[in-house]
Structure 1
Amino acid sequence: MNEKRTTQPVLKVLVVEDSMDLQVLLRAMLNEIPSVEVVASVDNQAAAVQALKACCADLAIVDLELATGTGLGFLKELSEQLDTDQHVKVVIFSNYSNLIIRHRCLNLGAKAFFDKSFQIDELLEFVQAEASGKAKSLTL
């Protein structure tokens, strides 16, 4: 009997990353965080939008460079196509971290931006904080 998953609220995460190796690594690291479940991982913009509609993720971790499409395109599509009732937080996890790109992502609705080259720990801390916050809000 898996009581952990049935008694504890779970933060559902969608990983949008074109590198299969990084997808596998992120899934493993994220699934180690209590109350976090990676519900899907995809490598392109169209699949990301479809997966988000299908799995009702709470958080999407998105790379800017995808197999087809872009993370910026995903952010734009998210604001245009998904129901306004669906409150998905998006964080960007990319090597393209110049100030202009960061501001553009935040202006399109991203909640945070993490540089792949040195901020994986910060990304994981952010996800853990989101999972903890979600758990607190659902148990009130």
Structure 2
Amino acid sequence: MQAPRLGTALQPFVNLQAFVIEDNPTIRENLVGTLEELTCLRVAGTSATEDEALAWLAANPQAWDLIIVDLFLKQGSGIHLAQRIQRARPGQKVVVFSNYINASVRKRCAQIGVDAVFDKSTEIDALVEYCAHQCYRVSQAQAA
């Protein structure tokens, strides 16, 4: 069965909590607005640094369904952060969203357990579709 397109009646019945780690305030605000408008994601928190993100995640291990992390942060590294993220429950997803995506970055992300990788400059629509599909997946699991 194929996931519904954006804006279907299925989306309002589920809200997934996201945590966005992005150091550019303009990109962060635009990304949050886009995802909250077009998918069932609600952003539970944001961070610009690895240390802030780790502190939030340690204090809120159950409070997120999806993490979106950039590779280059104000302080720290998105790759290092992705390696350190502890999933407290099944179904939690980690996504890398960066301008610096190439084959070796995709391979490294796969090796450390990142669920998906998207290039900021060419794959924003794919990120939105991925998030919408997560909404659909969770809504189907809840309906079962």
Q: TM-score, normalised by structure 1?
A: 0.85
Q: CA deviation at 1:88?
A: 2.3
After superposition, what is the alpha-carbon deviation per residue over 1:46-76, rounded to whole angstroms, capped at 9, x for unaligned?
Answer: 2112223326210001100001111111111
Between structures 1 and 2, the one with greater helix share: 1
Q: Give the % identical residues.
A: 31
Alignment RMSD: 1.7
Partner of residue 59 from structure 1, selected from 61, 66, 69:
66
Residue in 1 that maps onto 2:80: 73
Matched, 1:37 2:48: no
| Aligned CA distance change for structure 1 residues 87 and 69 (closer, same or farther; 3 Å) | farther
Higher relative contact order (CA 8 A, sep 6+): 2
| Aligned CA distance change for structure 1 residues 63 and 34 (closer, same or farther; 3 Å) | closer
Q: Which amino acid aligns with 1:60?
A: I
Q: CA deviation at 1:36?
A: 1.6
Gap runs ≥5 in structure 1: 1-6
- Runs of 4+ in structure 1 over 4 Å off: none
| Aligned CA distance change for structure 1 residues 95 and 34 (closer, same or farther; 3 Å) | closer
Gap runs ≥5 in structure 2: 1-11
Q: Which amino acid aligns with 2:16?
A: L
| Aligned CA distance change for structure 1 residues 83 and 99 (closer, same or farther; 3 Å) | closer
The number of residues matched between the two structures is 131
